[in-house]
A and B are shown apart, each in its own frame.
Chain A
């Protein structure tokens, strides 16, 4: 274990759960209850027999009592593949990689929770393009593999969320839960974010990493601001008026992300990179469960 993922951090993850409203068909036996009955071991209900039903499910004891055929319906328990799309662009590594650290911790939390639930997890870093993934990790013991993968991540250039998520969408993946962990600072703006998120054929959760300095920068005077990803610069005289317009732009951006999440039916989580990630996540999981 490293400083990034301490024993305490990993240990605290076991109490969290992700609960999906719908689970994709197929897959492995896990802990997510499917909406339709299946071949599990827990009894759910009876249903009158109709021709064509599997006669193996007929409850013969009821037939003996009522002389009518009933089927025993059992719960279907499946896994929920979890795909974590992790932003590793240069902006995430600015200021001692605070944003990247928080993002990787978020990814670790999601991976740990999923692995605890016997779900399959894969981490897909992206920046200017979709990077090499961690591969599918299964089983609780796979967490160390995920953590090792997260530790080894490097800056991946500028953010091109549309290209990256577009490539992911074209991968032959079983439907599952896609969690996009990013600051969503794409130079192409919110339109690119919407185009990227819209193309994902999965359950989607957006984890936006925010910093207090994003909303309320503590700079003043004449500055040459340099985009850490593109290198482009803007000379600005920071005045109260400019700051007011800046805050308005940030608020508009945040509102835009919320609208994108709402239109897409995605869960939107915000993680403050200036605070410890785990307590924030505990707060985002009511009763320890995050329903997506």
Chain B
């Protein structure tokens, strides 16, 4: 339970201070004028039903007492806005475009400066209770636990690296997934892309002379957004892979400002890096070239424990998948039945048949976040423990790297759903941090009593897919369901404005309580001596 990010003891301290202040105010209140009278006989009779001047005199009647307590509780709730876990605190991921396009000028100054200014303004508007992460150049520049001033410093220190903003957005999405009330805000020179679900996109056009490559996407085929700010002659768009033949398409003359998406056929999603270039170059050649990593949609293999019912469910549920052994009796390789060769994509998902490291059957994760922070070694093994049990481990030294989850996570125990979700969140961060090992993300969705662990995707344009679904009924499944990342997050992560709108129920209660208090105070003041 947190109160606006303040710990319970701090809240108790604040309440104690408030109580002391109220007590002091009670005794320092304006004293009434003293009037001597020959007797109080009649006054006592007159006010015996209305006297409430003493501290506890107001609470003589149980109904009044209950009402006051209810009002006070409503006000405290509204002020504290208590939440559990990550709670109401929003997780805001700020993405700044540092691609080549950011080197272009805007009003005579580098476009990156304008992006930084806009991002700083946005950052200043983010409520202090929210956590902000900064993503640029396809990496996490500042994680959620970095203090706001440090985020600002790192924002100021950004330089154009040429990395694709789309990849940065993928990183940001991965970072946001697994967090409740998370959103991604992108400040970019180009865009927004077609697939911007769950992302607030702020595009800041440059004043480049003619054309530029705004964005590169790969959905079913390679798509390039060519921006034009003025009439321009026809050009060619050339796609040059690092290895292989180049492909080119004509870019028609465009008189209107804005951009257009061009589909480039014949470019396979094989994971190669390509150079996208407009030829011939114009007056600002740096924004006419972009590097892009094609997604890898080739078949891949995932190593799982064949003895688990969940894995069997996976194989049985997806007709595209077949099971095959690779010589390890306790495992089977699931590969896409697309007719192509089996390719080890670099990730083995191994679900152990028993708890690792002789872990106890029950695991306690009271402060899992801290446990993760302390146990993630960053090199070699990365493991997550709960209590004295190892829940998950990534062996980066093996080839390919192996992800191992304790089977206990998928036991028929609804109480472990949150544990699974926590593991998934840890995986998301750990795998992302180990970007050189696993190019993708693992995200989790926790809704009610269901935890969804999402995909590890090695594609350049990651479209994470849930790979495991576990619910309180113990129905653990592993499946490729093809849901986009934002759906896996399960919350409306598109929040263009840092500040939310509307009132929560306890805020309404507090408003009503304050209104009652105001009316009471007004009536009280009316009776005071002028």
B50 near A: Cβ within 8 Å? yes
| Alpha-carbon separation in the docked complex, A245 to B53 (Å) | 18
Within 8 A of B (CB), among A218-277: 219-230, 232-237, 239, 241-243, 245-246, 248-250, 252-253
Contact B31 A224 (CB under 8 A): yes
Tell me how far the C-beta of A101 lies from the nearest C-beta in chain B, rounded to whole angstroms: 14
B56 near A: Cβ within 8 Å? no
| Alpha-carbon separation in the docked complex, A234 to B47 (Å) | 9
Contact B38 A225 (CB under 8 A): no
Contact B42 A225 (CB under 8 A): no
Contact of A189 among B41, B43, B51, B527 (CB under 8 A): B41
Contact A235 B51 (CB under 8 A): yes
Question: Which of B34, B38, B42 neighbours the largest number of chain A CB atoms within 10 Å of its CB?
Answer: B38
| Alpha-carbon separation in the docked complex, A186 to B225 (Å) | 99
Within 8 A of A (CB), among B50-106: 50-51, 53
Consensus secondary structure, chain A interface = mixed
- For B39, the closest partner residue in chain A by CB is A185
Contact of A214 among B38, B53, B529 (CB under 8 A): B38
| Alpha-carbon separation in the docked complex, A232 to B53 (Å) | 15
A183 near B: Cβ within 8 Å? yes
Contact A246 B528 (CB under 8 A): no
A94 near B: Cβ within 8 Å? yes
Contact B43 A225 (CB under 8 A): yes
- For A230, the closest partner residue in chain B by CB is B40
Knowing A249-B41, A249-B46, A253-B41 touch, does A221 contact B35 (C-beta < 8 A)? no
Contact B527 A225 (CB under 8 A): no
Knowing A221-B530, A223-B32, A236-B51 touch, does A228 contact B46 (C-beta < 8 A)? no
| Alpha-carbon separation in the docked complex, A91 to B38 (Å) | 5
Contact of B39 among A187, A224, A236 (CB under 8 A): A187
B33 near A: Cβ within 8 Å? yes
Contact partners of B530 in chain A: CB under 8 A? 221
Contact A228 B35 (CB under 8 A): no
Contact A228 B37 (CB under 8 A): yes
Contact A229 B35 (CB under 8 A): no
Contact A226 B42 (CB under 8 A): no
| Alpha-carbon separation in the docked complex, A219 to B34 (Å) | 11
| Alpha-carbon separation in the docked complex, A159 to B529 (Å) | 31
| Alpha-carbon separation in the docked complex, A243 to B45 (Å) | 11
Contact of A242 among B33, B39, B50, B53 (CB under 8 A): B50
Contact partners of B43 in chain A: CB under 8 A? 225, 234, 236, 246
Contact A221 B529 (CB under 8 A): yes
A-contact bits for B5-49, CB 8 A (1 contact / 0 none): 000000000000000000000000001111111111111111101
Contact partners of A217 in chain B: CB under 8 A? 37
Contact partners of A250 in chain B: CB under 8 A? 42
Tell me how far the C-beta of B473 lies from the nearest C-beta in chain A, rounded to whole angstroms: 63
Contact partners of B31 in chain A: CB under 8 A? 224
| Alpha-carbon separation in the docked complex, A189 to B40 (Å) | 11
| Alpha-carbon separation in the docked complex, A217 to B40 (Å) | 13
Tell me how far the C-beta of A54 lies from the nearest C-beta in chain B, rounded to whole angstroms: 57
Knowing A242-B47, A245-B45 touch, does A226 contact B38 (C-beta < 8 A)? no
A17 near B: Cβ within 8 Å? no
Contact A222 B32 (CB under 8 A): yes
Tell me how far the C-beta of A26 lies from the nearest C-beta in chain B, rounded to whole angstroms: 40
Contact B53 A235 (CB under 8 A): yes
Within 8 A of B (CB), among A70-99: 91, 94, 99
Contact B527 A224 (CB under 8 A): no
| Alpha-carbon separation in the docked complex, A250 to B46 (Å) | 10
| Alpha-carbon separation in the docked complex, A219 to B53 (Å) | 18
Contact partners of B33 in chain A: CB under 8 A? 221-224
Tell me how far the C-beta of A233 lies from the nearest C-beta in chain B, rounded to whole angstroms: 8
| Alpha-carbon separation in the docked complex, A57 to B13 (Å) | 104
| Alpha-carbon separation in the docked complex, A217 to B43 (Å) | 11
- For A159, the closest partner residue in chain B by CB is B39
Question: Which of B37, B49, B50 neighbours the largest number of chain A CB atoms within 10 Å of its CB?
Answer: B37
Within 8 A of B (CB), among A94-136: 94, 99
| Alpha-carbon separation in the docked complex, A222 to B529 (Å) | 6
Within 8 A of B (CB), among A172-190: 183, 185, 187, 189
- For B45, the closest partner residue in chain A by CB is A249
Contact partners of B527 in chain A: CB under 8 A? 221-222, 237, 239
Tell me how far the C-beta of A4 lies from the nearest C-beta in chain B, rounded to whole angstroms: 20
Contact B40 A234 (CB under 8 A): yes
Contact partners of A242 in chain B: CB under 8 A? 46-47, 50
Knowing A225-B37, A227-B37, A235-B32 touch, does A253 contact B42 (C-beta < 8 A)? yes
| Alpha-carbon separation in the docked complex, A227 to B34 (Å) | 10
Contact A226 B41 (CB under 8 A): no
Contact partners of A224 in chain B: CB under 8 A? 31-35
Contact partners of B35 in chain A: CB under 8 A? 219, 223-226
Tell me how far the C-beta of A89 lies from the nearest C-beta in chain B, rounded to whole angstroms: 9
Tell me how far the C-beta of B362 lies from the nearest C-beta in chain A, rounded to whole angstroms: 61
Question: Which of A217, A236, A250 neighbours the largest number of chain B CB atoms within 10 Å of its CB?
Answer: A236
Contact B39 A223 (CB under 8 A): no
Within 8 A of A (CB), among B414-434: none
Knowing A234-B51, A235-B53 touch, does A223 contact B42 (C-beta < 8 A)? no
Contact B44 A183 (CB under 8 A): no
- For B31, the closest partner residue in chain A by CB is A224
| Alpha-carbon separation in the docked complex, A187 to B42 (Å) | 10
Tell me how far the C-beta of A22 lies from the nearest C-beta in chain B, rounded to whole angstroms: 35
Contact partners of B47 in chain A: CB under 8 A? 234, 236, 242, 245
| Alpha-carbon separation in the docked complex, A27 to B49 (Å) | 55
Contact partners of B37 in chain A: CB under 8 A? 94, 217, 225-228
Contact A225 B40 (CB under 8 A): yes
Question: Which of A183, A219, A224, A225 neighbours the largest number of chain B CB atoms within 10 Å of its CB?
Answer: A225
Contact partners of A246 in chain B: CB under 8 A? 42-43, 45-46
- For A220, the closest partner residue in chain B by CB is B529
- For B48, the closest partner residue in chain A by CB is A245
Within 8 A of A (CB), among B514-530: 527-530
Contact A222 B41 (CB under 8 A): no
Contact of A185 among B38, B45, B46 (CB under 8 A): B38
Contact partners of B40 in chain A: CB under 8 A? 187, 225, 227, 230, 232, 234
Tell me how far the C-beta of A116 lies from the nearest C-beta in chain B, rounded to whole angstroms: 33
Contact partners of A249 in chain B: CB under 8 A? 41-42, 45-46
Tell me how far the C-beta of A220 lies from the nearest C-beta in chain B, rounded to whole angstroms: 7
Q: 3 closest pairs, A vs B, by CB?
A: A221-B529, A91-B38, A185-B39
29 of the cross-chain contacts (CB-CB < 8 Å) are A94-B38, A99-B38, A185-B39, A187-B39, A187-B40, A214-B38, A220-B529, A221-B528, A221-B530, A222-B527, A222-B529, A224-B32, A224-B33, A224-B34, A225-B40, A226-B35, A226-B36, A226-B37, A227-B39, A233-B34, A234-B44, A235-B51, A236-B46, A242-B50, A245-B47, A248-B45, A249-B41, A253-B41, A253-B42
Other A-B pairs, 18, CB within 8 Å; known A222-B32, A227-B37: A99-B38, A224-B31, A224-B33, A224-B34, A225-B35, A225-B43, A226-B34, A226-B35, A227-B38, A228-B37, A234-B47, A236-B47, A237-B50, A237-B527, A237-B528, A242-B50, A245-B45, A245-B49
A residues lining the B interface (CB < 8 Å): 91, 94, 99, 183, 185, 187, 189, 214, 217, 219-230, 232-237, 239, 241-243, 245-246, 248-250, 252-253
